[in-house]
Every structure is written in C-alpha cells, then in structure tokens.
Chains A and B, each alone.
Chain A
C-alpha cells in the first residue's frame, strides 16, 4: 500500500526497491508467488482445454472400438516412443534450468534452456515426418481419407482387410483399392474420424510445443543477458511448469493413440 502522495516513484523514503519489483507488490517473493499462482491457473485452463478433446476421444472410441483398433496400425509406435523419450529428457533439462537459475549458474542456465529448445525441435521434426507420411499414404481426417496405394498399408491393416473380406485377394489394382477404401473409409470403418481425432489431438499438442519453443527462445535471450538471479527467476520456473504440462499431455496421448492394439 502506498503511504506517500508522490506519483511517479513513491519510494525515496524507503530502502531501494529491486529493479525487478513491480510497483504494486511489496516483496519479490510475493510477486514470484503471484506469477506462479497465475501459471498454475493457466495450466488448469490447459487441462480443461485438452479435456474436451480427450472426451471426444472417449466418445468416439467407445462408439467405434474397431475403428481405433485398426487405425492404430497406421501409427508407428517407434516414432511415438522416440518422441516420448525426447520430451521426457527435455522435461528434465527444463527442471534443471530452474535449479541453475536458483543457484545463479549462468552457463548452466543457458545450456539447459538450449537443450530443452533443441529437444522440442527434435520432437517437431519427428512429428513432421509422421504427418507427411500420413498425407502421402492418404490416411488423413474425415472426408479426405483415401488410400492411394495398397503397398502403403501397414501389415496389421492388411491382415484385418483379408480377414473381413477374403475376396480381396482375387481383386487387383483399382478395383482392389476401391474395395479397400470402401472398407476403411466412411462407408465402412470410418477411419477418417480416427484420424480427425489423431490430427486434432497431436496437432493441438504440436502447437503447444511450438509455443514452448517460442518462450524458450525468449528465455534463452534473457538468460544470455543475465536477467535472472536467485531472487528473480519466476519466468524460468513458470515456463518450465508450462513445459511439464506439454510433456504430461503427450504422456497420455502416446499410449491412447499408439499403444491400443
């Protein structure tokens, strides 16, 4: 509370205020706690944001179990697992960066932030290859789902097709492809809905990774400039919290999409 009538800086009678302290807080600790509470509330908001998608997932999987069973064959669990490890590792370096900031280890701080950023980049590169492959195969969302080539189909899908339509073996070329698309597309299994769920969930998560890369780049610059010290490191802490929830959401996405066979 102000005890002075001065208008611009009302602190000349008091001990000097740290330059990082905003005018409406009395201590850096309180300011840090306010920022942190704000971040936790934001994370609560994030959970609800994704909750709608997880609900959609549950509704569609409950109504179309087989669609999810077959759709899962299109996803490569090895790429998913790689990304899981990359993200888990980056969560460790993110937590480490907070510790470095608390201990005022500037080189360590810059390094851990850089590694976290590079992990995020790696994740997005792997995602890029996964997405382009699916677009190449034609295993995409809703109305656009259309397989272009039998040879692209994963083993599990081929087995399922032959099991449900032994006559497929006698067909060839276009005729066979048309029959396959009939079985997998909206007239049959409706895999388009599975891929709608897949692309929406991983896409929204991917957007969060990109945002994370943006804020880590900002932190990197600030860390290089030496903005942080043991009393003022809220930004590092809060970004790490955000990064952990991005990681946590992936921890749920990976088994729910890749490992349900």
Chain B
C-alpha cells in the first residue's frame, strides 16, 4: 500500500468525518458554492479535460508528421487534405493548451485550493469573484467547444492578421476571439483575488517573508495576470471589430497596421509565459524543500526573483518580433533585456540545488517531478538564451528549435510542476493516497516521452526544419518519427495518471493529515479539510520549519510535536 499507509475507519485522522466534499451534496451545491476548495476542484477537473483535449490534438498532429516526407499532397482523409487538417490540429493544440490549460492550470486549481490554507484562513478574500472567475472559464471553454463544432481555425494560436482576420470563416473566428477574451477576464479575477487575499488575510504573526514561496510565486503571477491580460482583451476586441466592420486598425487594406497587433499580442503573451512558469516555480520550491527535509535555501532570493521575473517579463516582448520589421535599435534593446530574465531564473535553480545539498532527499513521486522540472527547465532556459541573441534568432526563428525551447519550459517545466503539485497535494485535496508504484511509472513515462518528443526537435530546428509545416524533406524523417513516438509515450504517461488518480479518489487508502512531513499551514488541516478548512486553531509557523513535525507510525504520516501543540509556537523562531 502506498506510503505505508494503513486503512483506517472514517474519522481516524481528524476527529470529524465531515469535510468540504461531503458537507452538502448535490450538483447545485457545487455549482453555486463559494468555497474555494470546491471551486478549485471544479477548476482541476476542467483544466484536466482541457489538457486531455489539447493533448489529443498534439498526438493527432504528431501522427500527421509521421510520414510527412513521403505523403502525396493530394491525399484526402475525411474529405479534407492532410495539410489542412494539420493546420487546424496545431492551432487548436496551441490555443487549448495555452488559454485553457497552462494559464489557469496551477493558479486556479492548486493555487485556489492551497493559497487560503497556507495562510490558515477560511477562504479567499472575494469568494463571489472567485466563483465568477470559474463561470467565466466555463463560458470561455464552452465557446471554444463551439469553435471545434464550427470547423476550427488554422491561424496558429497567435492569430496574426491579416490572415486571421480576412481569411477565416466568421463563426469559429468570432467564437475563438470571444472565448479568449472571456478566459482572460477569468484569469484577471483570479489574480486580483489572490493579491487581495495575501494582503488582507495573512494571519497575525505571518509577514510576507513568512509565507511559503508558492505564495510569492502566485503573487508575482497575479501581478502579471492583472496588468497584462487586459491588453490582450482589448486587442482581441479590436480584432473582432476589425473583422466585422473593417475599421482599419490591423488590416493593411483598410489602413490598419498588422505589426501593431503583434506588439499588442506579445505585450500580453510574453508576460503570459511567466503566468505559466511562475506558479510552477512556486510548486517547485515547496517540493524541493519538503522532500529534502531542509529549510529552503535563499528564501528571499527565490521570493524576490519571482517578482523580478514578473517585472522584467513586461519589457521583453519585442524578442518575438526580431524578423517582423522591427527597427534594429529596438531589436538590440529587446535582445539585451531578454538576457536579464535568465538571471532571476538561474537564481531560483541554484537555490533549489543548494536546498538539496546535504538534505535528506526522499524520492517520492512529487520530488521526481521536481527533479525532472529542474533538468528540463535548465535546458529550456539555456536554449532561450540562444534565441535571445539576434544573430542566432534570425537563423533559428520559426524553426523546430523554437518549438523545442518553449515546450521545454511550458511543458517540461510547467506540466511537470503541475503533476508534481497535484501528487503532492492530492492527499490533502481528496483525502486519499494514490498508488506510489504506478505514479513512479507514470512519471518515468512522462519524462521519457517528453525527452524523446522534444530533444530531436532541437537538432531538426538547427538543421532548418521550419515549424508549422505538415510536409518536410527526407533528411528530417528520423527526427520526426522519434518525436512522434515520444508524443505517444508522453500521452500514455498522462493517461495512466488520470486513471490511477481517479481510481484513488474513490478507492484509494485514506491519507494521513501530513503524509510528507511538510511544514506549511495547510498540513495542519484534516485530509480532506473541513468546510471551514481548520477545525483547530492554526499554529502559525514559518513555512519550512520541519522540526515541528515528527513521524507517527500509527497514522503513517506526520504529527505536530507535543511541545509545539502545547506552547502553540514553532520550535525554531530564529531560522531565517
């Protein structure tokens, strides 16, 4: 049985059998709930469905690419040319993954659940806004399903005009633009809520520097969500008006400027990649510290580097446009600024490694994902520097090198951290343990599949394989076929996870309060938590004081030491 957990009767771990999952029943009580935990779980299910949908398109497009060197261009599948299908697959893959999975992924599901609990409070500051954000997500997602139903798009997720605005069928285009607009406001409301909560609902005795680093990362993410997302909202609204009324703002034939769209688009979409990676880095800080059983190294450096990444992230968007007719001076400045992002990113990686140094490392599944994160983020981050230098960029622009680079960061890092975080908090969220052996196998499949899928793409890219083509020259066949095999392996790993996690939710052994010996406040709650989160007064302590917890063989988890419970104070007061 996973983690040496012994099956116990209900109520053995928290004194109460009631929790947020069974407090009230019926679908209506979930849909109109204001409870952050229920909203988080609904988000978790929704983003997982989005991940599977986006993953389906990924596997589909990799399948098309299997024999791209020898295909007859006139081949028809389901009455459509293969190339046309491929164009829709990569567009929908990108759009679904970016807007419906990666951006809301960690903050709206894990963040929503864990943030108030790490503050020892009952809910987010603005519960109605939280529910509204979920509703907006549902509306946006529904509109996106409409895009699929009306034939899809083939613009790429970047929606560059003129092609996107005057060469697409109106219905799917307008549905897609409104979907992203609405999903954007869902994201803004989540970020706004998080910032307010961290400022107003910290318990007495917890300063900003006592918060877990996951919360620093969410704070930085929220700043970007609130300040960058409105720009894409407006841009998409203008694009919609341009498409319908030809107002002459982005389409050159009516006097508009298509490059202005690119500036607006990347002003959001570059910071958006930090919306994707920063929460992942926050999860990473928790995983590495917990499973090294050591106070995180360089707390302030990690915390402030999140803020630095958010700030610098706002002024580098031009590096997406080095070959889009931007002036050489602008190119030079954007290139220079882009290198700066590497500094806070590297600070984080070095601090995680230093945290592990002489720690007592436990290779549980979440930690394995944490290690995979570091390895893949290292590669993804360093190849970003290749792309930041202008001369290299001109050569590598729009090749598979770019694809491989950003998948290393967005998938290799964020998806791994998402999986790591889901496994780490799964016992808390569902009250059940997953099967550790299956989880390790799935983690191995994900890691293997991911590397098979994207390592060859770096080589193919440097040899000139351009992105977004269904067909290619003979010499690229091996790279593409390895990559396709990798995509299948990765897909198998993800499916395996979905299966054993779903199984464990219903049939898994009951989880102890604190299976990992982690020290942040959410572990003082029952698993799963009470409707009001905590049934006993929370003992506020710094997030990485592991000595306050000791292993209890009776529950298979960790319990607060007697001295801590009696004094109501952390053992270590002068640690950082």
Contacts of B234 in A (CB 8 A): 49-50, 52-53, 204
Q: How many A-B residue pairs have CB under 8 A?
A: 147
Fill in one digit per residue for A48-76: 1 if any B CB lies within 8 Å of its CB, else 0.
11111101100110010000000000000
Determine the distance from Cα of A60 to Cα of B259 in the docked complex, in whole angstroms. Answer: 12
Counting CB contacts under 8 A, is B538 at the interface? yes
CB distance from A182 to the nearest CB of B (A): 14
In the complex, are the beta carbons of A42 and B192 less than 8 A apart? yes
In the complex, are the beta carbons of A45 and B126 less than 8 A apart? no
Counting CB contacts under 8 A, is A193 at the interface? yes
In the complex, are the beta carbons of B247 and A192 less than 8 A apart? yes
Counting CB contacts under 8 A, is A37 at the interface? yes
Scan residues 187-215 of chain A and give those whose CB is less than 8 A from a CB of chain B. 190, 192-193, 196-197, 199-200, 204
CB distance from B531 to the nearest CB of A (A): 6
In the complex, are the beta carbons of B200 and A33 less than 8 A apart? yes
CB distance from B198 to the nearest CB of A (A): 10
From B122, B188, B249, give the contact of A24 (CB < 8 A): B122
Binds B, one of A88-96, A103-111, A137-145, A224-232: A137-145
Determine the distance from Cα of A54 to Cα of B213 in the docked complex, in whole angstroms. Answer: 37
Q: Which residue of the partner chain A has the closest CB to B533? A: A2
Counting CB contacts under 8 A, is B75 at the interface? no
- On whether A48 and B241 interact (CB within 8 A), knowing A10-B532, A34-B125, A190-B248, the answer reads no
- On whether A143 and B254 interact (CB within 8 A), knowing A34-B200, A44-B226, the answer reads yes
Counting CB contacts under 8 A, is B123 at the interface? yes
Counting CB contacts under 8 A, is B398 at the interface? no
In the complex, are the beta carbons of A142 and B535 less than 8 A apart? no
Contacts of B200 in A (CB 8 A): 30, 33-34, 37
Fill in one digit per residue for A1-32: 1 if any B CB lies within 8 Å of its CB, else 0.
11101010010000000000011110000100
In the complex, are the beta carbons of A141 and B260 less than 8 A apart? no
Q: Which residue of the partner chain A has the closest CB to B535? A: A5
CB distance from B254 to the nearest CB of A (A): 5
Counting CB contacts under 8 A, is A261 at the interface? no
Q: Which residue of the partner chain B has the closest CB to A141? A: B247
Interface size of A by CB at 8 A reads 45
In the complex, are the beta carbons of B231 and A51 less than 8 A apart? yes
Determine the distance from Cα of A37 to Cα of B135 in the docked complex, in whole angstroms. Answer: 23
Determine the distance from Cα of A51 to Cα of B227 in the docked complex, in whole angstroms. Answer: 11
Q: Which residue of the partner chain B has the closest CB to A32? A: B200
Fill in one digit per residue for B193-221: 1 if any A CB lies within 8 Å of its CB, else 0.
10111011101000000000000000000
In the complex, are the beta carbons of B246 and A143 less than 8 A apart? yes
Counting CB contacts under 8 A, is B255 at the interface? yes
- On whether A49 and B233 interact (CB within 8 A), knowing A1-B538, A141-B247, A144-B246, the answer reads yes
In the complex, are the beta carbons of B231 and A56 less than 8 A apart? no
In the complex, are the beta carbons of B192 and A41 less than 8 A apart? yes
Scan residues 180-196 of chain B and give those whose CB is less than 8 A from a CB of chain A. 188, 192-193, 195-196
CB distance from A221 to the nearest CB of B (A): 18
CB distance from A28 to the nearest CB of B (A): 12
CB distance from B468 to the nearest CB of A (A): 27
In the complex, are the beta carbons of A1 and B188 less than 8 A apart? no
Counting CB contacts under 8 A, is B235 at the interface? yes
In the complex, are the beta carbons of A24 and B121 less than 8 A apart? yes
- On whether A24 and B127 interact (CB within 8 A), knowing A44-B227, A190-B255, the answer reads yes
Contacts of A59 in B (CB 8 A): 257, 260
In the complex, are the beta carbons of B126 and A200 less than 8 A apart? no
CB distance from A27 to the nearest CB of B (A): 11
Contacts of B535 in A (CB 8 A): 2, 5
Counting CB contacts under 8 A, is B561 at the interface? no
CB distance from B353 to the nearest CB of A (A): 35
Counting CB contacts under 8 A, is B79 at the interface? no
Q: Which residue of the partner chain B has the closest CB to A59? A: B260
Contacts of A30 in B (CB 8 A): 200
In the complex, are the beta carbons of B254 and A45 less than 8 A apart? no
In the complex, are the beta carbons of A192 and B257 less than 8 A apart? no
Contacts of B530 in A (CB 8 A): 5, 7
Counting CB contacts under 8 A, is A186 at the interface? yes
Determine the distance from Cα of A42 to Cα of B226 in the docked complex, in whole angstroms. Answer: 8
CB distance from A208 to the nearest CB of B (A): 12
- On whether A34 and B126 interact (CB within 8 A), knowing A1-B537, A51-B231, A196-B249, the answer reads yes
In the complex, are the beta carbons of B121 and A1 less than 8 A apart? yes
Fill in one digit per residue for B105-119: 1 if any A CB lies within 8 Å of its CB, else 0.
000000000001000
Residue in B203, B241, B249, B538 with the greatest tally of chain A CB atoms within 10 Å: B249
In the complex, are the beta carbons of A186 and B254 less than 8 A apart? yes
Contacts of B233 in A (CB 8 A): 49
- On whether A48 and B227 interact (CB within 8 A), knowing A5-B535, A200-B238, the answer reads yes
Contacts of A7 in B (CB 8 A): 18, 23, 530-532
Determine the distance from Cα of A213 to Cα of B229 in the docked complex, in whole angstroms. Answer: 25
Counting CB contacts under 8 A, is A130 at the interface? no
Counting CB contacts under 8 A, is B508 at the interface? no
In the complex, are the beta carbons of B188 and A142 less than 8 A apart? no
- On whether A144 and B245 interact (CB within 8 A), knowing A41-B195, A49-B231, A186-B254, the answer reads yes
Determine the distance from Cα of A190 to Cα of B127 in the docked complex, in whole angstroms. Answer: 49
Counting CB contacts under 8 A, is B534 at the interface? yes
CB distance from A24 to the nearest CB of B (A): 4
From B125, B193, B255, B534, give the contact of A1 (CB < 8 A): B534
Q: Which residue of the partner chain A has the closest CB to B193? A: A38
In the complex, are the beta carbons of B255 and A186 less than 8 A apart? yes
Determine the distance from Cα of A44 to Cα of B535 in the docked complex, in whole angstroms. Answer: 37
In the complex, are the beta carbons of B248 and A2 less than 8 A apart? no
Determine the distance from Cα of A59 to Cα of B260 in the docked complex, in whole angstroms. Answer: 8
Contacts of B381 in A (CB 8 A): none
Contacts of B18 in A (CB 8 A): 7
CB distance from A33 to the nearest CB of B (A): 6
Residue in A41, A42, A44, A141 with the greatest tally of chain B CB atoms within 10 Å: A41
Q: Which residue of the partner chain A has the closest CB to B238? A: A200
Scan residues 519-569 of chain B and give those whose CB is less than 8 A from a CB of chain A. 530-538
Q: A23-B532, A200-B241 are in contact. List 16 more A-B contacts (CB 8 A).
A: A2-B532, A7-B18, A7-B531, A23-B123, A24-B127, A30-B200, A38-B126, A38-B192, A48-B227, A49-B233, A52-B231, A56-B260, A59-B260, A186-B255, A190-B248, A193-B254
Complex A-B, nearest 3 residue pairs according to Cβ-Cβ distance, in ascending order: A142-B248, A49-B230, A196-B247
For this complex, 6 residue pairs linking A to B, each with C-beta atoms less than 8 Å apart, are A1-B120, A2-B532, A7-B18, A7-B530, A142-B255, A200-B249
